[in-house]
A and B are shown apart, each in its own frame.
Chain A
């Protein structure tokens, strides 16, 4: 007969809440406020995070393979003398080692053939160079890529603000200059631009396009050209590849796969989470902030519910005593008061979801343009059912916590002392 008991509870809950309409609405509004704020903030923050993440990943791969040039003389010595020996190396120096990945063409072939988890691969050759303009020298890098493949992975052509990808491919020694660099050097498409290698080699390039990713480190320092151009500039052959950029089907798999590739191919591998760690930390901090503010608001709302329930109990002591005399046990009274609390939580929470959704919709209609953030026209908002589910759980949770003490208090009311009058 649990079923009929809840029908009776619902009737009592409804009648009691209706008899205190104003306070009921006010305390439910507290929850509405907290929940709508949470929904709007978390949707907005996640929208911003996702937007920045997309920008970040528009220029960086999920996994990058490269050849790490570090001082590993100690480990070599250790390998020779054994683990128990103490090895001290005085004045270690980096040997003239190639930055190229060993057996890069074979690795590329294997990845393409055997790895279903990969969406695309782009080999690169990077060279540290100086861009020279008159007497100024700006340090930066020149990246040789398979432009067609790279365009598929990172949508290069959508980020070109002047010139075209085609022009880079067809112009002799044509380069695609980073937007920040173009500003600094004050050059335009069609201009000639001399570059110098650390070795002293100089070459005259032609600016065929200008590209902006919205990431300062890249736009201010990096330019693109074909693989062959850089290989020739460095005096290397076609096997000379310094990095392999990999895009995965599921970017969350990157850390696991990076470790796997490093093991398989004997090179270094880095996942995007690792080389963007600082940005990801800022996402986490933003999230913590959102949750901290929302939870504090819900605590305040919870106090509102606690207050009205406590007041209602004091006012309805007689009713509680009568119900007890008529066969309602402590359990029933507890359920009724908790039910009142949850009813406030549900009503306020659902209203909060609606208001939160409308607020998110409003935010997503606010125009926002910034030359450093290409592709943004309105404030970014992420609409996800998950946030709404979490929000309603929050609403019910805070209502339940707020209801526990009043419910226990009501259940303990001694009917005789009240009915005596």
Chain B
């Protein structure tokens, strides 16, 4: 079963000189798959993730997620769609600095409003526990270290149990112990919950834990390595 299908995605930055970052990317990802994308710096990985996460709507081609053609949909639809189906972990772990860690994790769930607040609260605390930052739950984000913030951002991406989790170097700031914990969590949600994970990474070892590795160069996917069926 397919969760994500991208057809001939082309992205051009018009400024300062017209520059084609994505040169016709097509890819299909199945439900429950754990996919990693690797490639040289500047080859367009982040750009591709912004398109796949529906945040960037300025591209050519067709994007289908969870059987919905999201290409051409309006902003309010996409925002709600993201809240429901997509969890995003940014390259530079962005938290709301004035809010507590717990509030950062809770906001997407409270916004979606599908479950009673105490249920999402329990789940949020569980995620923070697994990320090893439960004791920081009530401290404002700005008081936390980069690694702690990144782990909170991962918990936030997972709070709504999205069908598709997209991460841009989610372990970039973490030591090997925390990296292992994050990878355990991500693989377990693929295996047990049928959620799909797509991450960009520079780390070969991280990529080695995924089901499939896509290699990008110059705005194209130039190869893939399937590690598990």
Contacts from A to B (Cβ < 8 Å): 1, 3-5, 7-8, 11-12, 15-16, 18-19, 318-319, 321-332, 415-416, 419-421
Complex: how many Å from CA A330 to CA B84?
A: 16
Instruction: Report the Cα distance A332→B77, complex, angstroms.
Output: 12
B53 close to chain A: CB less than 8 A? yes
Cβ contact within 8 Å between A328 and B111: yes
Q: How far is the CA of A318 from the CA of B55 in the complex (A)?
A: 14
Q: Are B94 and A318 in touch, CB under 8 angstroms?
A: yes
Measured between alpha carbons, how far is A247 from B192 in the docked complex, in Å?
88
Q: A419 CA to B166 CA in the complex, in Å? A: 14
The listed residue (A3, A5, A416) touching B56 by CB distance below 8 A is A416
A19 to B92, CA, bound (A): 23
**Chain B interfacial residues counted at CB < 8 A:** 35
For B13-34 the 0/1 string (1 means CB < 8 A from A) is 0000000000000000000000
- Judge whether A11 and B103 touch: CB under 8 Å: yes
Would you call A330 and B75 a contact (CB within 8 A)? yes
0 or 1 for each of B145-161: is its CB under 8 Å from A? (1 = yes):
00000000000100010
Inter-chain contact B82/A325, CB cutoff 8 Å: yes
Q: Which of B77, B88, B95, B113 contacts A1 (CB 8 A)?
A: B113
B76→A329 contact, CB < 8 A: yes
* New A-B contacts (7) at CB < 8 Å, excluding given A329-B75, A332-B111: A1-B113, A4-B117, A15-B103, A325-B94, A329-B79, A329-B80, A421-B91
B96 within 8 A of A: yes
Q: Number of A-B pairs whose CB atoms are under 8 Å?
A: 86
Interface of A, helix, strand, loop or mixed by DSSP = helix
Closest chain-A Cβ to B216's Cβ sits at a distance in Å of: 17
B69 within 8 A of A: no
Contacts of B46 in A (CB 8 A): 420
Chain B residues in 8 Å Cβ range of A329:
75-80
CA distance A340 to B111 in the complex (A): 18
Docked-complex contact B80 and A327, CB < 8 angstroms: yes
Top 8 nearest A-B pairs by Cβ distance?
A327-B83, A329-B79, A1-B113, A329-B76, A4-B113, A326-B108, A8-B110, A19-B98
B95, B96, B99 — most chain A CB neighbours (10 Å): B96
Inter-chain CA distance A415–B86, complex, in Å, is 15
B99 contact set on A, CB distance < 8 A: 15
Kindly state the separation between the CA atoms of A218 and B84 in the bound complex, as whole angstroms: 80
Minimum Cβ distance to chain B for residue A112 (Å): 70
Measured in the bound complex, the distance between the Cα atoms of B56 and A329 in whole Å is 14
Among A1, A323, A326, chain B packs the most CB atoms within 10 A around the CB of A326
How far, in angstroms, from A421 to B77 measured CA to CA in the complex?
25
| Distance to closest chain A CB from B193 (angstroms) | 19
Q: How far is the CA of A1 from the CA of B80 in the complex (A)?
A: 12
Q: Cβ of A326: which chain B residues have Cβ within 8 Å of it? A: 82-83, 88, 107-108, 111, 156
Indicate if the CB atoms of A421 and B75 lie closer than 8 Å: no
B96–A322 CB distance below 8 A: yes
A419 and B110 contacting across the interface, CB-CB below 8 Å:
no
The answer for the CA separation of A319 and B142 in the assembled complex, in Å, is: 13
Decide yes or no: A331 and B111 within 8 Å by CB, A19-B98, A325-B82, A325-B88 being known contacts: no
Within 8 A of A (CB), among B35-86: 46, 50, 53, 55-56, 75-80, 82-84
Chain B nearest CB, measured from A354 CB (Å): 30
Contacts of B117 in A (CB 8 A): 4
